[in-house]
C-alpha cells in the first residue's frame, strides 16, 4: 500500500496537466479531424502542433525559472515580462549600434542581455533573500517601472531588427525543417535537465522550500539558494526576451511579454507544483506551459472573443485551484484507501487495530 501511494503521489503531479491537455486536444479533434495534420511548406513543418510549440517557447522558458523561484522562496516573481523587456532592449541597442551584424554580433548581444537579466535577478534576489521582502512585493518594483526603463533604453521609439540573422532566429534557418524558437527552447530545456542531474540544485532548492531552518542546520544557506534562483530567473527572462524580440522583428517595450507572468504562475500550478514552495516538477511546469498555449489557441479556434479569453482563463484557474487543493488531495487519498479495502477486503481501520494488537503484545512480552 505505501508503494502504491508513493506511485500515486508521483503520478499526481503530471495527471492534472496531462488530463487537461488531453481534454483540450479532444475538443480540437471534435472541432476538426485534421487538427494533427502537419504539412511541409518550403522545407519547413507547419501545423497546429508546430504552431503550439512555436508559440509557447517563451512561456516554457519562463515557467522553468518561475518553478525554481516558487519552490525556494515560496513566492512568485511578477516582473519577468518587464525583465525580458529590459534585457531585450539592451540586446537590440547593441545590435543596432554594432553596424555590420554577424552571428558573433548576435551572440555577443545575447550574452550581454543575459548579463543584464542576471543583474535584474540579483536586484530582486537581494531584496527577497537578504532583506526578507516578500517576493511579490519585491518584484512589484520592476513590474511597475520596468517597461518605462525599457522604453528609455529604446530611445522612446520601437526599434526594428532589420537583419537576416535575427529574422532566422525568430522564424526558420534555411534548410532546417523546424522553426528556430522551438530548437532554442529544446536546447534550453536540455541544459536545465543536465544542470539538475549533475548538481545539487534540486536538493538545495527543495530543502530550502520545505524547511529553511532544517536546511540551514544541514549546511545549506537559504539566502544564497534563494538568491541563486532569482539569478536563474533573470537568465530565463533574458532568453525569453531574446526569442520574443527576434520573433517580432522589432522591440515593443509596451507589449513585449506583457502579462506573461500570470501564465507562467499558472503553468507552475497546473504542473502540480505547490505555490507555497518545496518539492517541484520541471516536467509538470513545461507540460503546464504547453497546455496553456493549447487552451489559448482552442478558445480562439472556438471563436471566443480575445477579451473574453481572460474570463475563461479565470474560471479555469478557479477550477484548477480547487482540484489541486489539500482538501481534494486528502479526499483522493481516503478514496484510494477505500478502493484498496474493497478490492482486498482489508480496511484501514483493520490495519490500525492490527497495529494496536501487535503493540500491546510486544509490551506484554
Q: Provide the whole-model pTM.
A: 0.88
Residues in the chain: 365
Distance, in Å, from the CA atom of 126 to the CA atom of 55, rounded to the nearest integer, reads 32
Residue with the three cell numbers 485534421: 34
Residue 130 contacts residue 93 (beta carbons within 8 Å)? no
54 vs 305, residue with greater confidence: 54
Q: Is the pLDDT of residue 354 over 50?
A: no
DSSP letter assigned to residue 121:
H
User: What 3 state SS string does 260-306 have?
Assistant: HHHHHHHHHHHCCCCCCCCCCCHHHHHHHHHHHHHHHHHHHHCCCCH
pLDDT in tens, 22-49: 888 998 998 888 888 999 988 899 999 9
Instruction: Compute φ and ψ for 40, nearest 5 degrees.
Output: -105, 110
pLDDT at 289: 95
Distance, in Å, from the CA atom of 296 to the CA atom of 201, rounded to the nearest integer, reads 33
Start and end residues for every CATH 1.10.3470 domain found in the chain: 2-324
Q: Cβ atoms within 10 A of the Cβ of 176, count?
A: 13
pLDDT in tens, 229-280: 999 999 999 999 999 999 999 999 999 999 899 999 999 988 888 888 899 9
Residue with the three cell numbers 515560496: 74
Nearest to 134 by CA among 277, 272, 281: 277
Nearest to 267 by CA among 12, 56, 7: 56
Least confident of 32-41, 63-72, 165-174, 255-264: 32-41
Considering only the top CATH level, what class is 2-324?
Answer: mainly alpha
Amino acid at each position: 500500500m505505501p508503494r502504491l501511494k508513493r506511485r500515486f503521489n508521483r503520478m499526481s503531479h503530471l495527471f492534472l496537466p496531462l488530463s487537461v491537455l488531453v481534454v483540450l486536444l479532444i475538443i480540437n479533434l471534435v472541432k476538426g479531424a485534421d487538427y494533427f495534420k502537419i504539412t511541409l511548406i518550403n522545407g519547413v513543418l507547419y501545423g497546429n502542433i508546430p504552431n503550439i510549440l512555436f508559440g509557447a517557447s517563451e512561456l516554457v522558458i519562463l515557467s522553468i525559472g518561475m518553478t525554481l523561484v516558487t519552490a525556494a522562496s515560496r513566492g512568485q516573481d511578477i516582473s519577468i515580462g518587464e525583465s525580458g523587456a529590459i534585457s531585450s532592449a539592451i540586446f537590440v541597442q547593441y545590435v543596432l549600434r554594432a553596424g555590420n551584424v554577424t552571428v558573433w554580433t548576435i551572440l555577443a548581444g545575447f550574452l550581454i542581455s543575459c548579463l543584464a537579466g542576471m543583474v535584474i535577478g540579483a536586484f530582486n534576489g537581494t531584496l527577497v533573500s537578504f532583506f526578507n521582502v516578500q517576493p511579490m512585493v519585491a518584484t512589484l518594483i520592476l513590474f511597475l517601472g520596468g517597461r518605462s526603463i525599457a522604453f528609455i533604453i529604446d530611445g522612446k521609439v520601437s526599434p526594428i531588427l532589420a537583419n537576416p540573422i535575427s529574422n532566422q532566429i525568430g522564424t526558420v534557418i534555411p534548410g532546417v525543417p523546424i522553426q528556430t524558437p522551438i530548437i532554442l527552447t529544446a536546447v534550453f530545456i536540455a541544459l536545465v535537465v543536465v544542470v539538475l542531474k549533475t548538481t545539487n540544485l534540486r536538493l538545495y532548492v527543495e530543502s530550502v522550500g520545505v524547511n529553511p531552518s532544517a536546511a540551514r542546520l544541514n549546511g545549506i544557506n537559504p539566502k544564497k539558494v534563494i538568491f541563486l534562483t532569482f539569478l536563474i530567473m533573470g537568465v530565463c527572462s533574458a532568453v525569453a526576451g531574446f526569442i520574443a524580440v527576434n520573433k517580432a522583428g522589432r522591440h515593443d517595450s509596451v507589449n513585449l511579454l506583457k502579462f506573461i507572468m500570470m501564465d507562467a504562475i499558472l503553468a507552475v500550478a497546473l504542473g502540480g507544483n505547490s505555490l507555497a514552495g518545496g518539492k517541484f516538477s520541471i516536467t509538470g511546469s513545461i507540460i503546464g506551459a504547453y497546455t496553456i498555449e493549447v487552451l489559448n489557441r482552442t478558445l480562439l479556434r472556438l471563436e471566443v472573443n480575445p477579451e473574453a479569453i481572460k474570463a475563461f482563463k479565470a474560471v479555469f484557474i478557479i477550477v484548477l485551484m480547487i482540484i489541486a487543493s489539500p482538501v481534494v488531495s486528502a479526499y483522493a487519498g481516503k478514496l484510494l484507501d477505500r478502493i484498496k479495502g474493497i478490492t482486498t477486503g482489508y480496511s484501514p481501520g483493520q490495519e490500525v487495530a492490527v497495529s494496536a494488537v501487535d503493540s500491546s503484545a510486544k509490551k506484554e512480552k
